[in-house]
Amino acid sequence: MAQLRTLVKSAIKVQDEHDTPVAPPKKSDPKKSDNKEEKEENEWSEIADTLTQATRSSRGRNLSSASLKAETIDTPEKTIKSDKLDKIEVVDSPSGSLKKDSSVPRIMGSSQQIEEARRLIRKLADSNVPVYISGESGSGKEQAARSIHELSNRYDKPFIAVNCGAIPENLMESEFFGYKKGSFTGADQDRLGFFQHAHGGTLFLDEVADLPLGMQVKLLRAIQEKAVRRIGDAQEVKVDVRIISATHKNLESLVDSGAFRQDLFYRLNVVTLKMPPLREMHEDLEYLIVHLLRKHHGTGIKMTSAARQALLHYNYPGNFRELENILERAVALASNHTIDVDDLQINTQPMALDGEHFSLAEHNASGLPTFQMGHMQLQDYLDDVERQILQQALDYTKYNRTQAAKVLGISFRSMRYRLDRLNIE
């Protein structure tokens, strides 16, 4: 119930930049609410009143914005609202254009997933709720976090990015909270931690899933109390920090397996922003390639048709970061300023393990289950497919779970969780 109340309150706070402010909830009189039941009843009444006011103001906004929705301008690419035309910058390319929203310049593209990400970034910028950014490695999670900070009223305050997986466990507490001089051997001066350096601004916790359980407890307290205590200090110091976290791992599965605290998960995951992988942005891929080439290497670079097709059909497991590295390497290897397919050095062969090739397509000859529209539940079908793939990987590795996890590109912990969930012995 406490988590539900927190989520409802946070949802009310998340409003568009031009939304009418919602009146704050009425404060209950503690003298009139001496027991727990009455306090909860009063709190729910306050939330209900706030929701009612929010609904009324939302209706008024919808009516007042009707004229804006009616005014649209058709372009060859898509229909754009007229009130956003001044934010669109067009970058020419040989076969089209790449749209950039000047209010979110770090996030490029015009695919539906990117447009949705930009919309949510603008919406979250005006609130202080914690944001959890999910997405694969290299999909632009830090760029999204920086965009939220730059659009918020904290833009002129520090943005501190922390890679949680790169800090040794024995140094985490001192790095996050700081220490006083003489508190331990080697502490020859006072030092502030990440929270104090980010005071008034934003603290971005990248790869938050890599935090050890002991540090998760301390981080939870710092977020709840909005205060930190340096090592060797008796007093806590209040800090005003907005928390944005991100990881390429599945936090929910880590919570289920006990590797990540559930209470911290709910504190961090108030609002989720998903960054799409590059392979799902087919309409933007060619324009991104041209844009990156021109941005880093000017207009003197050409590309053969074979190289272009190879780039367009590659699945980019490393996403934007891998695409940039591929192009940088290709330019360095290109002859006569022309990139050929060999210059890309893209691995298009099946996944290999210990010198042998492993391809799920070969094992699928026995046939994965066929989805029968209207007669099957999607989750049941996906469970059957996952069960068969896991079984094939185990058979291939002679039931070595560590090697099977490596073949499938997942962690051993995730492999163990999936085997338990699907009752595979």
CATH number at residue 292: 1.10.8.60
Greater confidence (416 vs 160) lies with 160
Predicted confidence at residue 59, as pLDDT, reads 43
Predicted confidence at residue 65, as pLDDT, reads 37
Q: Which helix (H) or strand (E) holds 202?
A: strand 202-206
Task: Determine, yes or no, domain membership for 269.
Answer: yes
Predicted confidence at residue 297, as pLDDT, reads 75
Task: Determine, yes or no, domain membership for 352.
Answer: no
Shared-domain flag, residues 327 and 363: no
Shared-domain flag, residues 296 and 270: no
**Residue among 262, 6, 13, 296 at smallest CA distance from 127:** 13
Shared-domain flag, residues 323 and 387: no
pLDDT digit string (tens) for 338-348?
A: 899 889 888 65
353-365 average pLDDT score: 43
Predicted confidence at residue 126, as pLDDT, reads 86
Is residue 74's pLDDT more than 90?
no
Shared-domain flag, residues 224 and 258: yes
Predicted confidence at residue 422, as pLDDT, reads 86
Greater confidence (149 vs 420) lies with 149
**Residue among 357, 281, 256, 270 at smallest CA distance from 108:** 281
192-211 average pLDDT score: 94
36-42 average pLDDT score: 59
Shared-domain flag, residues 251 and 210: yes
Predicted confidence at residue 375, as pLDDT, reads 64
**CA distance linking residue 156 with residue 177, whole number of Å:** 22
Percent composition of the chain: helix, strand, coil (DSSP 3-state, to 5) = 50, 15, 35
All residues at 6 or more sequence positions from 276 whose CB lies less than 8 Å from its CB, including other chains: 111, 113, 114, 117, 135, 139
Predicted confidence at residue 77, as pLDDT, reads 34
Is residue 100's pLDDT more than 70?
no
Determine which of 38-47, 93-102, 214-223 has the lowest per-residue pLDDT on average.
93-102
Task: Determine, yes or no, domain membership for 327.
Answer: yes
Task: Determine, yes or no, domain membership for 60.
Answer: yes
Q: Which domain does 26 fall in, by range?
A: 2-67
208: pLDDT confidence band, cut at 50, 70 and 90?
A: very high
Predicted confidence at residue 68, as pLDDT, reads 32
Determine which of 64-78, 93-107, 128-142, 221-235 has the lowest per-residue pLDDT on average.
64-78
218: pLDDT confidence band, cut at 50, 70 and 90?
A: very high
Work out whether strand 72-74 and strand 79-81 pair parallel, antiparallel, or are unpaired: antiparallel
Pick from 252, 274, 296: which residue ends a domain?
A: 274
**Residue among 146, 155, 151, 242 at smallest CA distance from 194:** 242
Shared-domain flag, residues 299 and 380: no
Task: Determine, yes or no, domain membership for 350.
Answer: no
Beta bridge partners of 133: 246, 273
Determine which of 92-96, 155-159, 219-223 has the lowest per-residue pLDDT on average.
92-96
Shared-domain flag, residues 204 and 136: yes
Predicted confidence at residue 120, as pLDDT, reads 94
Task: Determine, yes or no, domain membership for 113.
Answer: yes
Work out whether strand 202-206 and strand 242-247 pair parallel, antiparallel, or are unpaired: parallel
Greater confidence (278 vs 381) lies with 278
Shared-domain flag, residues 186 and 330: no
Percent of the chain residues topping a pLDDT of 90: 30
Shared-domain flag, residues 129 and 254: yes
Shared-domain flag, residues 216 and 240: yes
Residue 151 in tokens: 């659009």
Determine which of 79-83, 143-147, 177-181, 373-377 has the lowest per-residue pLDDT on average.
79-83
Task: Determine, yes or no, domain membership for 72.
Answer: no
Shared-domain flag, residues 319 and 186: no
Predicted confidence at residue 144, as pLDDT, reads 95
pTM of the model: 0.61
**Residue among 343, 292, 341 at smallest CA distance from 321:** 292
Pick from 19, 44, 67: which residue ends a domain?
A: 67
In a 3-state reduction of DSSP, which class is residue 182?
Answer: coil
Determine which of 60-69, 125-134, 187-196, 359-368 has the lowest per-residue pLDDT on average.
60-69
Average pLDDT, the chain: 77
Q: Which amino acid is at 421?
A: R
Task: Determine, yes or no, domain membership for 91.
Answer: no
Q: What is the CATH number of the domain that holds 376?
A: 1.10.10
Predicted confidence at residue 154, as pLDDT, reads 94
Is residue 294's pLDDT more than 60?
yes
Pick from 274, 290, 317: which residue ends a domain?
A: 274
Shared-domain flag, residues 237 and 318: no
Beta bridge partners of 179: 191, 231
Predicted confidence at residue 188, as pLDDT, reads 80
272-286 average pLDDT score: 89
**Residue among 213, 216, 252 at smallest CA distance from 417:** 252
What is the number of structural domains in the chain?
4
Predicted confidence at residue 29, as pLDDT, reads 54
Q: What is the CATH number of the domain that holds 223?
A: 3.40.50.300
